[in-house]
Amino acid sequence: MRLHPFIREVLSIAGGAFFLYVGIMHFTDTAWFEPIVPPILGSATFWVLASGVAEVVVGIGLILPRSRSDAGYASAALLVLLYPANLYMWIYDVELGDGASLSPTGHVIRLFLQIGGILLSLWIAGYFDDDVDLLHKELG
């Protein structure tokens, strides 16, 4: 087995498990997520539950090999779509449901993790595969 597909599979399953876990948390502890929903969106409970459904679906998709590529694109899109809540939390120093909040450094780290998650999701989807093949042809 080549190392590249093995790493992609392991990271897909780990990412899927993460999305699945966090998605389920949206149903078991809705109040924890509600404060970071920007008020302009309306019902915080609705958006927490809707994003929970999306995260569970993406998580399952990343775990199942047949849907992994599509789920990779979906997880990248989801991470982009959900970032405004994180940005709202940062700009307005919003506390989570348990009263915790991130420091300015914590928000910067979260931003870089979000960007890394988007890039990883695209890699899982195979978005960069043609570029890698082209690079190997040019070098080899």
Tens of pLDDT, residues 96-140: 878 888 899 999 999 999 999 999 999 999 998 875 555 455 555
With residues binned 3-state (H G I as helix, E B as strand, rest as coil), the percentages for the chain, rounded to 5, are 85, 0, 15
Both tokens of 5, joined, read 């597909």
Unique residue bearing structure tokens 């970071």:
36
**Amino acid identity for residue 50 in this structure:** A
Task: State yes or no: pLDDT of 59 exceeds 90.
Answer: yes
Mean pLDDT of 71-95: 94
Task: Give SS3 for 94.
Answer: coil
| Residue % of the chain over a pLDDT of 70 | 91
By CB neighbour count within 10 A (0-12 exposed, 13-18 middle, 19+ buried), where does 76 fall?
buried
Task: State yes or no: pLDDT of 91 exceeds 80.
Answer: yes
Total structural domains within the chain: 1
> Taking the complete model, does pTM exceed 0.85, yes or no?
yes
Task: State yes or no: pLDDT of 12 exceeds 60.
Answer: yes
Phi, psi of 2 (to 5 degrees): -70, 150
Give the domain range for residue 107. 3-139
